[in-house]
Amino acid sequence: MKEKTRRLVIERAITLTGTALLLSACGGGSSGSSGSAANAANLSDTQKSYESVALAANGGLHYVYGSLSLTTSSSGALSVSPSSLFYTDDSSLPQSPANGPQMLSIATTSLSASLKVPTPSAYREVINGAVNLSSVPAQVRVSYTGPNVREDYLAADGQTVMRTYLGTSYTVVPLTGLVSASPADLFANSPLGLITNSLNGKSLYNTQASWQAGAAYTKVVRQTVGDELFTYDCVSPATTGTTPTPCSTTASTLESFFPYASTADGKTYQLSDGQIFTEGGVRAWVANAQLGGSTTDYRVYYQINGGISAAYLIKDGTTLQVAPLGGGTPQSSYYFLNGAAVQTIKSAINF
């Protein structure tokens, strides 16, 4: 049975298989807010930039996700499959975290009237020796830590912190003129770049469209706070609860588990390929070598419930990274659109 890997880190791919072209791109979270004039004077430049877009009154932050399946007809013409996705994760705050922690308002919106948004699912993380489920929809608490923006993602119980991101840089870049003349990094490093592909020789958007007044995007740099041990089903069957399918029920210790052939990683791990630590409150073997995600991560096998389960670890202080749309070296900025930019794209696309 095949070991299954599920990652929160951002992955993008453009794959050509037979007559179907799959264009996909994913991304991650956001947040926002604004406060009184008195508190605003005490904000850092990073926090001021954050509030200038993230506050509900300022339209919030919008991260584009995309997966466009282009299939061919009997005549060879391409069309966008109804199973395709092109949508935004939308987030905003009612007021500034300078007035105390605030909960994000989160929604999803399709950028195309002909496409639906996906049903969200929970991820799983090992915390204090137990597997926890994330809340669905996400519950995110935002606060200010020094000059930075802190986001705590909560478990389904609404209390346990699953993961924490620290936003250290928010750079707002105005968008004017033709969409087709936008800064190259916006299309190269954001799923928005999917629209630069063509369909039957025609662009997927109106190349004569211009950005609406006030349109902008925000480049965000964030890092993790604390180690994050994400777990998943190692082999079939697939599960959704707090008991992922383990890799082994016969090996009760890590020393007796190795060597282990991982089909997901395409290699056989030896005990000497990693070190044993306590991670997430469990006894865990952590690989010495990086696993290869866009954000630096490491393969983990850990002891739980008398067996061995699989996970991957993102270490404390790791900068979140995104692979460019066409592949290449991961970069450290996430790209969020503001409300005016989202409305421009909705009006410009033709699928």
Q: How is residue 157 written in tokens?
A: 């119980």
Q: What is the pLDDT of residue 16?
A: 24
Rounded CA-CA distance 14/196 in Å is 13
What is the domain partition of the chain in residue ranges? 12-116+134-223+318-348, 228-314
Alpha helices in 100-249 (DSSP H): 184-188
pLDDT digits 0-9 by tens, 125-176: 999 999 999 999 999 999 999 999 999 999 999 999 999 999 999 999 999 9
- Percent pLDDT > 90 in the chain is 79
206 in Cβ contact with 285 (< 8 Å): no
**Sign of the dihedral through C-alpha 71, 73, 75, 80:** negative
pLDDT digits 0-9 by tens, 252-272: 999 999 999 999 999 999 999
Rounded CA-CA distance 28/191 in Å is 11
Q: What is the pLDDT of residue 72?
A: 78
C-alpha R_g of the chain: 21
Count of CB atoms situated within 10 Å of the CB of 156: 15
Alpha helices in the chain (DSSP H): 37-40, 45-54, 184-188, 254-257, 339-348
